Amino acid sequence: MKRLKFLLVAALGGFLFAQCGHGSVEAPLKGISSSQVDSVSYAVGVSIGSMIKQNNLGEINIDKFAEGVKHTLSKGADMNEQRSVGMIINNYLEKKMALLGETKKAEQTAFMAENKNNEGVVETESGLQYQIVNPGSEIKAVAVDTVEVNYKGTLLDGTVFDSSYDRGESIKFPLNAVIAGWGEGIQLIGEGGKINLWIPYELAYGERAAGADIPAYSTLYFEVELLKVYKYQDKKAKKSK
């Protein structure tokens, strides 16, 4: 909803510039040239266009958009009309996200059904799929332990969204503080081991996006090296001794 409100506010503010080439809403202040007005009008158009794309309205009908701009400039929009406009956009986005979700889920189901037949790929009861490249040592982590790893994460289309290799440094974190697919998968190898993980969206970020790089309903692929296991130490138990 915050993104939606931001889009509406920005779009309504941008309406004031949208008539560039068809006469300005008001005369420019003294000292502002027509070329400067043209430049800022174009810049506002680019800004609004970017926000439209970011809010999943990339298929917007430009002619109808311009019609709405002209209507608002000539007649204004009272609070009732603004509420109606907000409901129209919100309902459309909800329907679109639901349809995209169903499409993504169907694609994931098809991919995972095929992937589990590849050599060395195993599917667990939770739906996680993994392939052990190197089993590592007998030292394995459990959910309460901390691990140090190197990894690369990609979407199913190969887009890399995160990589400790690219950053040039490993990362350390408690195993119970990461997505469920990671927590389950890392426990399958020991120190020095390497594993490939295909994590369905239910074991990743679910029905929501994670930042700008991971869309909602995303199945994630990780290549992970387990460098070190730091066994959990109960500080309270140590103090009692």
Query: What pLDDT shows up at residue 70?
Result: 77
12 shares a domain with 114: no
Query: What pLDDT shows up at residue 218?
Result: 92
DSSP character string of the chain: -HHHHHHHHHHHHHGGGTTTTS--SSPPPTT--HHHHHHHHHHHHHHHHHHHHHTT-TT--HHHHHHHHHHHHHH---HHHHHHHHHHHHHHHHHHHHHHHHHHHHHHHHHHHHHTTSTT-EE-TTS-EEEEEE---S-B--TTSEEEEEEEEEETTS-EEEEHHHHTS-EEEEGGGS-HHHHHHHTTSBTT-EEEEEE-GGGTTTTS-BTTTB-TT--EEEEEEEEEEE----HHHHHH-
Query: With bands split at pLDDT 50, 70 and 90, how would you rate the model's confidence at 23?
Result: low
Query: How many distinct structural domains can be found in the chain?
Result: 2
Query: With bands split at pLDDT 50, 70 and 90, how would you rate the model's confidence at 237?
Result: very low
148, 130, 131: which is closest to 139 by C-alpha?
148
116 shares a domain with 230: yes
In a domain, 163, yes or no: yes
224 shares a domain with 150: yes
230 shares a domain with 113: yes
197 shares a domain with 152: yes
What's the average model confidence in pLDDT over 169-176? 94
**Full domain range(s) for residue 64:** 2-77
What's the average model confidence in pLDDT over 125-143? 96
Phi, psi for residue 220 in degrees, rounded to 5: -115, 145
For residue 12, pLDDT over 80 is answered with: no
pLDDT in tens, 81-128: 777 888 888 888 888 888 888 898 899 899 999 999 999 999 999 999
Q: Tell me the Cα Rg of the chain.
A: 26
Domain boundary among 77, 94, 118: 77
For residue 3, pLDDT over 50 is answered with: no
Phi, psi for residue 127 in degrees, rounded to 5: 105, -5
Mean of per-residue pLDDT scores for the chain: 83
Tokens representing 189?
A: 């190898």
Query: What pLDDT shows up at residue 88?
Result: 85
Query: What pLDDT shows up at residue 25?
Result: 59
In a domain, 48, yes or no: yes
Q: 0.95 exceeded by the pTM?
A: no
Query: What pLDDT shows up at residue 65?
Result: 80
User: Cβ–Cβ contacts within 10 Å for residue 127, how many?
Assistant: 19
